[in-house]
Structure 1
């Protein structure tokens, strides 16, 4: 009977492997090497790095849905054979996600997703065996254990954010597990959150405050990173998608266990605010601060401000980083973001400029008075699409004498630091380049691919040392991708404080710290003096809108807005809308600056808030229930 039982379990998972589903293997595929992996410190360290290797590469436009599966960027379609631009995330943006073979499937590790259940399994193997390593110093064992606990928590969180309630895999199943034990169930959201937080609390107690060996350990997990991710987890859990969401009241296991708590719990925001404050204190103790650019003293004040904003992201190791992804972060994405700047190198096909922000993103940023463009009583919102010619007064950010649209005038510093467009300038260490993108001009479409379909380019993601080579290729300074940076924790704290008890001096302080670095007045000054709704910041609902727009601007093009829209339950409104760009095939300003409909997005609520679990998994494990709408 024992042999029959083992055979049945292995047969069950042979079906799983046959369907490319390997997320809860009873017998690890590397079982023969596990004992060897913990015979020495060096071998155990290799296994530690294996646990790190599953981290989703957030700077990869192929696999991070937050880039091309949302609404911040748009690309041409269809993606023809031989074009390196990925088509998988755009399938999601275009409403083509499916249950038979989901795109960017992180549950199974298929269609561009990493196998995060396998990652969790390997983390468990490490935690079960690291105590066997004979030559491992106890303090180092504690640190490595803490790092892997963090990774295990992060992988659970990534799946929770993507799929909603998930199984908790605290221990790997033994070979003696029964068939029914193998068929795990999804756990209620609150239970999953508590489990993730418990792992992060345990990890943070043993993690270093700072990285001492910067030559080889940058990117490893620290205490500020663990506490900051804990803050992100709890802010997510307190947000409307997960806190009192009646849309998912009918999502239950087959035994009737509810997977969402339909009752809003205000205490979750109090818990989140405490976690944010704890993270901020840890960051301050570690010397982490909002980035300020200190180089090239002969720059104009406006360009210094722009370099502060750009390099808070693209500096090789910015002092604002709490946790940077060092394995490929900020690498290929630079070539996707930058157009062919140098007129003498327009035939360089390695430069794409295809990561194209939409007109909607251009309209998101504030005016130079620090309020939304439709609220600023000094700004001509109604005529924003009318032509206007730049003068010498505008020459720090627009080309003197060049005709563009009113939308591009008198905007906040982050607008000019983050985006480039026809008539703008692009400062780099090797020169200042003019962007001219109408038909026949230097940055216009030159062929079937390798162009911006909207007329905008993503300046924010390009390090200022990027150099386009004469014939093909480029040289670049690769920077660590900001998995989380201090401005994020500041704005999460302001959000949590407001949701807990309404606007307060402390909430204003932390949002104003971010605004000050961006060259803007305080919220109080901007709204009182320039907004058509001067008392907006005084109410909980009004300040909520302000904080949310501040987040969307500060983290534009970094992959935050995709998840924020969902957790705020604003995705249905934002993603059921038209995507516009300029009419880039035109040579004259009067015809180029016509809003061109690129696509009508469709977001089916509540279904599209979460990924589907593939049908194959539901067949193999009858205890799993599908997300609502799929």
Structure 2
């Protein structure tokens, strides 16, 4: 039997683990119990179990403390110090506060975080690919699909590391026992090589429609959450748009970032062809999604009677929260209930006559996010010539015409006359929260039902994340019934916005506007052309490439708000050094009166060091094990 040497010299921690009970020295890298590989591929059933273990290596992207894009930036803020009852890991909150380090990195997915090792996941993919011919009872069509799944997962693990760490080693095969010490000490590969490798793997996984991954899942009872051809092509589109973006395309900040042998890891020369490839990848993914019947979600109320405004709000919320809805391209189902903790973190106390301590309400959007969304006219609040931007922090009284606000209430001008996504995504003092069991009124001044009553279970900013809470959540005095949904790793709205961005960069504004306007229409807004022409102080902004780029980027930040996308988008656009160096504000939540509560207070002065903070540090221990590795710049 062939015995494999583990490539995980990348990581001291990973070197000690082959099977859970293995303990090995630096060079003793032959797996214990090698016969277990034969056992794992003895038949179809055992091989399928091994495939599922690879899926189990995927990060929990639906958990707010294990998804690196959620609490590490400026979308959310949390009270500090946090009660031990209200968190699983402090790592993301610490990163947001500038406490990342290279000795013991936070959210260290290079070695292991949340018991997830990306390198171990890659190794398992390689083991399956190298042993897939062993089970004699495996049907050829099943083998073809499992090979495609393993290639997709191997690509995704590489992609996950690439987005966090930049240029990474490529582990295409597990090294044989005969490999020399020098071969085991792998090096980081240039950005373009990594991108090309991942892209090729995804192409092989996707196949041509007749081979590779299936277009859709047909066995809904047993296979939901497994990858499909549209998922592979959509992740490829995300990869190539990222590779074409300023962080990786013509970035001179990393021109001196080199391996120990002097080979460059970044190409500082801008390449327009990267955008051409990204555009083609987006179109191919959209075509595959159309073939599979994937479409933008639209809310169907069924037996419940709702008005048009509520339908639009539920178009937005349920595109994320409705299980296996028509828009989902790939959903993460880790641990069976992947978004239950997320919803408990996000949802405030909705009942006025009792408190349920399971609802934390601590996943608090920042004031920066409240200012991001458009006015009701579909343009930014500082561009709308009919909206009072100057007096946005002044109190106003609501009337019956303010349908998204409680009547005869007071709140700041910032909360009036905003677009539907603002009211669908966020809740605040004076807003409403529609659920399956009825309409709830959010009143969050001190001692009010959704306000701060104690040292925990509250929003530090005064805002709540409505978008991520399934409308079927039911709260009683003794229990909270949560309908968990698969975390949307990729949905069609995301893909449409990637396509719009790539199309604009390849001088095709008509296509960019077409796909962006599909998103806007679902959100109850007029087209970009109509909104800017009639309401913007710069009515021709959308007619230039630079102007349309700004519009597309803000549209994307709005459409993808609170879904773990903003952090990565700001990085790939090279805007993080500007945006993540701005202060974090909230309302004066410990106050009881309208006037006192609605005062803007500084919560934190956030800092982002460029270029250091564009990539995660690698733990220093790795360089003792492998001196051929180089640390990311600034660390």
Q: Please classify the TM superposition score into its range, dividing by the shorter chain length.
A: over 0.9
Match of 1:255 among 258, 261, 269: 261
Does the 8 Å contact 1:23/1:107 carry over to 2? no
Residues 251-308 of structure 1: CA deviation (Å, up to 9, x unaligned):
1011111000000000000000000000000000110000000114521110111111
Partner of residue 147, structure 1: 149
* 334 and 438 in structure 1: CA distance in 2 versus 1, 3 angstrom threshold: same
1:391/1:176 Cα in 2 relative to 1: closer, same or farther (>3 Å)?
same
2:514 aligns with: 509
Q: 486, 506, 522: which is aligned to 2:527?
A: 522
Are 1:314 and 2:321 matched, yes or no? yes
**Number of aligned residue pairs:** 618
**Cα separation, partners in 2 of 1:33 and 1:15, compared to 1, 3 Å:** closer
**C-alpha distance in 1, partners of 2:164/2:217?**
30
Distance 2:172 2:316 in 1: 41
The question of whether the paired residues in 2 share the 8 Å contact of 1:22 and 1:108 is answered with no
Aligned to 2:592: 587
CA pair 439-246 structure 1, distance change in 2 beyond 3 A? same
CA distance 1:13–1:80, change in 2 (3 Å) = closer
Question: Measured at CA, do residues 113 and 157 of structure 1 come closer, stay the same or move farther in structure 2, by a change above 3 Å?
Answer: farther
| Aligned equivalent of 2:339 | 330
Q: Specify the alignment match of 1:196 in structure 2.
A: 198
Deviation sequence 1:493-522 (CA, Å, 0-9, x none): 110011112x52111100000010000000
Query: How far apart are residue 63 of structure 1 and its match?
Result: 1.1
- Residues 66 and 382 from structure 1, CA distance in 2 versus in 1: closer, same or farther, beyond 3 angstroms? same
Separation in structure 1 between the aligned mates of residue 186 and residue 46 of structure 2, nearest angstrom = 32
Q: Is the 8 A contact 1:26 1:173 kept in 2?
A: no
- Helix, strand or coil at the partner of 1:251: coil
Does the residue aligned with 1:457 lie in a helix, a strand or coil?
A: strand
What are the within-5 Å matches in structure 2 for residues 23-62 of structure 1?
Answer: 26-28=29-31, 31-62=34-65
- Which runs of 5 or more structure 1 residues have no equivalent in the other structure? 1-5
Equivalent position of 2:16 in the other structure? 17
User: Which residue number in structure 2 is paired with residue 295 of structure 1?
Assistant: 301
Residues 20 and 406 (structure 1 numbering): CA distance in 2 closer, same or farther, change over 3 Å? farther
Corresponding position: 1:99 with 2:99: no
After TM superposition, the score normalised by the length of structure 1 is 0.95
Q: 2:360 aligns with which of 329, 347, 352?
A: 352
Q: 1:164 aligned to 2:166? A: yes
- Alignment-derived partner of residue 365 in structure 1: 373
Gaps of 5+ in 2: none
Q: Contact conserved, 1:428 with 1:465, CA < 8 A, in 2?
A: yes
Measure how far apart 1:22 and its partner are: 11
> 3-state DSSP class of the match of 1:343?
coil
**Which of 246, 249, 255 is equivalent to 2:252?**
246
* Worse-matched range after superposition: 148-157 or 15-24: 15-24
Which of 75, 80, 95 is 1:77 aligned to? Answer: 80
Inter-partner Cα distance in structure 2 for 1:625 and 1:447: 47
Does residue 411 in structure 1 map to residue 406 in structure 2? no
Q: Which residue of 2 aligns with 1:558?
A: 563
With over 3 angstroms needed to count, the CA separation of the structure-2 counterparts of 1:405 and 1:21, relative to structure 1, is farther
- Partner of residue 3, structure 1: none
Within 5 A, what are the aligned runs for 1:377-392? 377-392=385-400
Query: Secondary structure, in 3 states, of the residue corresponding to 1:128?
Result: helix
TM-score normalised by length of structure 2: 0.95
Judged with a 3 Å threshold, the aligned counterparts in structure 2 of structure 1 residues 607 and 380 are, in CA distance, closer, same or farther, namely same
Q: CA deviation at 1:32?
A: 3.7
1:343 to partner: Cα distance = 1.1
Classify 1:484/1:25 alpha carbon distance in 2 versus 1 (closer, same or farther; 3 Å): farther
Q: CA RMSD in A?
A: 2.0
What is the alpha-carbon distance in structure 2 between the residues aligned to residue 46 and residue 118 of structure 1?
Answer: 16
Contact 2:15 2:29 in 1 (8 A): no
Q: What's the counterpart of residue 572 of structure 1?
A: 577
CA 1:345–1:172: 2 relative to 1, 3 Å: same
Per-residue deviation at 1:392?
Answer: 0.5
SS of structure 2 residue aligned to 1:303? helix
Q: How far is 1:344 from its partner?
A: 2.1
Deviations 1:58-92 (A, max 9, x none): 11112112111110000011124444363111110
For the Cα contact (< 8 Å) 1:341–1:433, is it kept in 2?
yes
> Residue 489 of structure 2 corresponds to which residue in structure 1?
483
